[in-house]
Amino acid sequence: MTVQRPANTVRATITPRNNSVYTSVDFDREGKQIGFFHVPQSPHDDAWGTVRVPLAVIKNGDGPTVLIEGGNHGDEYEGPIALGELLREIDPRDIAGRIIAIPAINIRAVEAGTRTSPVDGLNFNRSFPGDFNGTLTSQIAAYVHDILFPKADYFLDLHSGGSSLMILPSAIIEPSPTAQGHRKNIKATLAFGAPTVVMVDNLGETRTSTASANHQGLIVIGSEMAGGGLVSPDALAICRRGIRNVLKHAGVLKGAPDIAPGANARVLKVPGSEGYLLSEEDGVFEPLSPLGSAVSKGDLAGRIHFLHTPSRAPIDLLHPIDGIVFAKRQPGRVRPGNCCFVLANEYPEALTDEP
């Protein structure tokens, strides 16, 4: 197959590690295939069985490859729903190139509705580059890193806040190791067309799927679609449109991205550790700052109450910086280290044409 890489794209060379994972799809075959990749396992009740991870390939002629992932965390639903709809609806004749889709990548966590895998307790998004000799989560991460990323030009990673956070429906700019790669990521993220765009570097974390894709030279786009362990109809609509917009931006679907009124209205950046307000106590969290609100350093953000010690007055949580409330904790129960708020600042540099 002839792969038309985006202009001036520099790609890392990956030699796949030895592994026993196999798939029922042919990545080079024309048309639509919806199947699985199989990760051999040997638990108590299934000596020679596999864990089947849904995998789809839609191909028509030559062109770029867009890899789309949903279900990175099993309690984040908008991405898997929208991606499943796309796979059922899209006609291969309408594309030029290839779509590789893994709508429920962390399959055991998706089945359980949990952030981490119930099989090994691991967070898939802190497991890259993975290990084919490791537990299930590490093996799946290794397959994505070694087999799927090298086939792709673009990577769209669909998230929401999960059970513990509510997040402004946003497209996420993933910082690239190079200035040119960062500019490409910004342009592709703006093409997603979410109301809010936020650059998040996860404090420099290198074990995420997006960091791994960036390292290999893909053009990377993320999203955060609401959260709370719920399905938001508004966020789902943004996600549906955003997936198709990224495919149009890549040239896999015809036409220009459908940028809705109000898209990219706010372009923000989480400024690092100072943007995170963490609990220092064990108690019940009362949030007082709405999502999307502008706050100033020292403003009252919320309180922590001590229900088991009614004689003790609640303590105040104060915002550490000026900013916009990008995310806030969903459950009331907190313990030391729990994230209560995430603040972001304006990021006007993203709207310039400079690399």
What pLDDT sits at residue 351?
A: 82
Is 128 part of a structural domain of the chain?
Answer: yes
259 with 321, same domain: the answer is no
233 with 199, same domain: the answer is yes
- Residue ranges of E strands in the chain: 22-23, 31-40, 50-60, 65-69, 97-102, 154-159, 165-167, 170-173, 196-199, 219-224, 266-269, 276-278, 283-287, 294-295, 300-305, 315-318, 323-329, 333-334, 339-346
Mapping DSSP to helix (H, G, I), strand (E, B) and coil, where does residue 137 land? helix
38 with 154, same domain: the answer is yes
Indicate if the pLDDT at residue 324 is higher than 70.
Answer: yes
48 with 107, same domain: the answer is yes
Is 272 part of a structural domain of the chain?
Answer: no
Asked if 121 and 129 count as a contact pair (C-beta separation under 8 A), the reply is no
Indicate if the pLDDT at residue 2 is higher than 90.
Answer: no
329 with 231, same domain: the answer is no
Is 60 part of a structural domain of the chain?
Answer: yes
Mean of pLDDT over the chain: 95
Q: pLDDT tens for residues 298-321?
A: 999 999 999 999 999 999 999 999
CA–CA distances in Å: residue 153 to residues 164, 250, 270, 315: 32, 9, 26, 49
Is 236 part of a structural domain of the chain?
Answer: yes
Pairing relationship of beta strands 65-69 and 97-102 according to DSSP bridges: parallel
Is 79 part of a structural domain of the chain?
Answer: yes
290 with 187, same domain: the answer is no
- pLDDT bin (cut points 50, 70, 90) of residue 107 is very high
Q: What tokens does 260 get?
A: 């809705």
109 with 181, same domain: the answer is yes
User: Which string of DSSP letters, residue by residue, matches 243-301?
Assistant: HHHHHHHHTSBSS-----TTTT-EEEE--SGGGEEE--SSEEEEE-S-TT-EE-TT-EE
Is 11 part of a structural domain of the chain?
Answer: no
Structural domain of 294: 277-349
- pLDDT bin (cut points 50, 70, 90) of residue 6 is low
Domain boundary, last residue among 267, 295, 326: 267
CATH number at residue 79: 3.40.630.10
Is 136 part of a structural domain of the chain?
Answer: yes
238 with 261, same domain: the answer is yes
Q: pLDDT tens for residues 19-72?
A: 999 999 999 999 999 999 999 999 999 999 999 999 999 999 999 999 999 999
4: left (phi over 0), alpha (psi -120 to 50) or beta: beta
Q: What tokens does 211 get?
A: 């960091």
Q: pLDDT tens for residues 78-100?
A: 999 999 999 999 999 999 999 99
What pLDDT sits at residue 349?
A: 86
260 with 320, same domain: the answer is no
User: Which candidate, 143, 106, 102, places its Cα nearest to that of 14?
Assistant: 143
Domain boundary, last residue among 237, 267, 297: 267
291 with 186, same domain: the answer is no
User: Which candidate, 225, 97, 96, places its Cα nearest to that of 165?
Assistant: 225
119 with 202, same domain: the answer is yes
Is 7 part of a structural domain of the chain?
Answer: no
Q: pLDDT tens for residues 174-185?
A: 999 999 999 999
Name 294's bridge partners: 324
What pLDDT sits at residue 9?
A: 58
Domain boundary, last residue among 220, 240, 267: 267
Q: pLDDT tens for residues 124-175?
A: 999 999 999 999 999 999 999 999 999 999 999 999 999 999 999 999 999 9
What pLDDT sits at residue 5?
A: 56
CATH number at residue 343: 2.40.50.100
What pLDDT sits at residue 1?
A: 40
What pLDDT sits at residue 4?
A: 52
Type of residue found at 169: P
CA distance 180 to 28: 29
CA distance 53 to 9: 30
Mean pLDDT calculated for residue range 266-277: 96
Indicate if the pLDDT at residue 259 is higher than 90.
Answer: yes
Total domains, the chain: 2
What pLDDT sits at residue 13?
A: 86
Q: pLDDT tens for residues 326-353?
A: 999 999 999 999 999 999 999 988 887 6
Non-local CB neighbours of 130 within 8 Å, separated by 6+ positions: 138, 139, 140, 141, 142, 143, 144, 145, 146
Q: pLDDT tens for residues 278-292?
A: 999 999 999 999 999
156 with 89, same domain: the answer is yes
